[in-house]
A = this chain, B = another copy of it.
Amino acid sequence: MHIAFIGLGNMGAPMARNLLKAGHALTVFDLNAQAVADLRDAGAASAASARAAAAEADFVITMLPAAAHVRSAYLGSDGVLAGVRAGVPLVDSSTIDPATIRELAKTAAAQGNPMADAPVSGGTGGAQAGTLTFMVGAEAALFEQIKPVLAGMGRNVVHCGGTGTGQVAKICNNLILGISMVGVAEAMALGEKLGIDPKVLAGIVNTSTGRCWASDTCNPFPGVIETAPAGRGYSGGFGAALMLKDLGLAADAARSVGQPLFLGAQAQQVYQSMTQLGEGALDFSGVIRQYRGKQA
């Protein structure tokens, strides 16, 4: 398959490489010339614009930082929709708001291109290893069509429902994750101060009703889970600034449907406080440092 791949950042570049390894022909585009050169070295062709890349392709994938970039990559005068042939499927793997993707999909459908959202989880590690999870919002037929391509970049390709539901699934999952991590941080810091051994506390929580990924896999207290970022100074996990972005998407989505988010909004402020202190690049489990006081 001839695939146009647009957006070669920390996530996009390794995803594109995995598509090459899977045997696809790639035409790539990115504003960053070095990123393009690297992919060319790996065997991809390059194009001067998203439009030009899309013009040659049977399949288009975009992986961009935020809604404004996605909008411009599709709707701009040099964008995908200006160049792509009718019938070619479009897949946006960026993490953005569901409303934007639904609008774009409508516009794309009007010119004959089916469009899916397929945000990922698994981070840069998963992108490199090809073990990402894709959460796909697409009509059933489109899902079947794009699944094999996505399978070249990830381990799980999950159908979430119609267009936009991939984003909904990702936002809602990360809303729970962002909240539960702060909850675990509050509890572990409190337990420490009240004199229980943090490992013992985590052991009890993890076999009881408090168990959750944030406690049993990524526990924020140093030394509790050996493989967790807490054991290496909160480096190399899911950055607090990214969690903050996702909670911002949740807040915006909740506002759009008129629903309060009492804890989501509060968790957002706690991560904002963390990033304001210059710790936005740390793994989000470093939020426990807001609670442990000076020793942390």
> Which A residues form the contact surface with B (CB < 8 A)?
98, 121, 133, 135, 158, 160-162, 164-165, 168-169, 171-177, 179-180, 182-184, 186-191, 193-197, 200-201, 204-205, 208-215, 217-218, 248, 250-251, 253-255, 257-270, 272-273, 275-278, 290-291, 293-294
**B residues in contact with A273, CB < 8 Å:** 260, 290
Does A179 contact B176, Cβ atoms closer than 8 Å?
no
**B residues in contact with A197, CB < 8 Å:** 161
Interface centre among A194, A204, A290, A291, by most chain B C-beta atoms within 10 angstroms, is A194
CB distance from A225 to the nearest CB of B (A): 14
Does A173 contact B262, Cβ atoms closer than 8 Å?
no
Contacting A269 at CB < 8 Å: which of B250, B260, B278? B260
Is chain A's binding surface mostly helix, strand, loop or mixed? helix
Knowing that A179-B179, A262-B266 are A-B contacts, what are 13 other residue pairs whose CB atoms are under 8 Å apart, sorted by A's residue number? A158-B204, A168-B195, A169-B200, A172-B188, A174-B210, A176-B215, A177-B210, A179-B183, A190-B254, A209-B217, A258-B272, A260-B290, A261-B272
